[in-house]
């Protein structure tokens, strides 16, 4: 027969949740006139960009695109060629212990 009586306390697997945070208050709505102005402004910029793209496409219809700026491209090539080459040789071995001592001292 078991020595534990039915009245002894047992560990429970019931967990109580913390009370939920209060529901945040809604942000105030934007005024109707402000919403309308923002929509008109957005529409205006979309229309403007679309018009510019269409005008550019129609303006060069049948003609090749404008030539690229070859002078700029040549300068970039000269800058790249003027860079000093990296030394050819084995990679340096990094000594972490010596670096730590140097930083501490």
pLDDT digits (tens, 9 = 90+) for 48-101: 999 999 988 888 776 766 666 666 656 665 666 666 777 777 767 778 888 888
User: What is the domain extent for residue 46?
Assistant: 31-64
What's the structural domain count of the chain? 1
Question: Does 36 map to a domain?
Answer: yes
Question: Does 59 map to a domain?
Answer: yes
Question: Does 26 map to a domain?
Answer: no
Q: 47-64 in b/e burial notation, b at 16+ Cβ within 10 A?
A: eeeeeeeeeeeeeeeeee
Question: Does 25 map to a domain?
Answer: no
Full-prediction pTM beyond 0.85? no
CA atoms within 13 A on the CB side of 21: 3
The tokens describing 33, both together, are 């006139």
N- to C-terminal Cα separation, the chain: 73
């Amino acid at each position: 027969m078991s020595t534990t009586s039915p009245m002894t306390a047992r560990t429970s697997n019931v967990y109580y949740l913390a009370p939920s945070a209060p529901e945040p208050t809604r942000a105030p709505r934007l005024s109707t006139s402000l919403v309308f102005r923002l929509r008109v402004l957005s529409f205006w910029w979309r229309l403007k960009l679309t018009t510019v793209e269409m005008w550019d496409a129609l303006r060069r219809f049948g003609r090749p695109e404008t030539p690229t700026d070859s002078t700029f491209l040549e300068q970039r090539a000269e800058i790249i060629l003027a860079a000093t080459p990296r030394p050819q040789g084995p990679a340096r071995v990094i000594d972490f212990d010596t670096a730590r001592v140097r930083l501490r001292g």
